[in-house]
Amino acid sequence: MKMKKLWDKELNELPEDASAGKIEDTASTLEGMHYEPLLLFKTPGFLRMGEKAIALEVARISNMTDAEMMEEGLASNADFNEFKAKHIQLLIYHYNLLCRLRNDDPTAWDIINELLEDD
């Protein structure tokens, strides 16, 4: 419950969505660079997610059953709550970075360029 309150707080502090055109332009640029954020679970459409979609994704992960977690590839003896918490933490971090990219924050683009430079 404590983690849910933390996620709710962080979700409430997310910046407003960029325009649809800016979201698409940024996603296309990142795809052209072959960029995918490092996340623990499949998150289709992440690069085009807006504020509502990311909140729904956090809720989906929070409510995953043990069986769904195992379908994602986790062993039955894994600490499912720990994996959920880490994935949500990564989702929020990468979404914040994505918002900064959509706002043309040069330091955010530097992070992406550094990540891809060694590849």
The phi-psi region of residue 49 (left if phi > 0; otherwise alpha if psi is between -120 and 50; otherwise beta) is: beta
Q: What is the pLDDT of residues 21-56, one digit of tens each?
A: 999 999 999 999 999 999 999 999 999 999 999 999
> Number of folded domains in the chain?
1
Question: Rounded distance, CA 54 to CA 39, Å?
Answer: 13
**Region 85-91 average pLDDT:** 94
Range of the domain at 51: 2-117
pLDDT at 118 over 70: no
- Among candidates 90, 101, 112, which has minimal Cα distance to 48? 101
User: Are 54 and 8 a contacting pair, CB within 8 Å?
Assistant: no
pLDDT at position 13, please?
A: 82
pLDDT averaged over the chain? 90
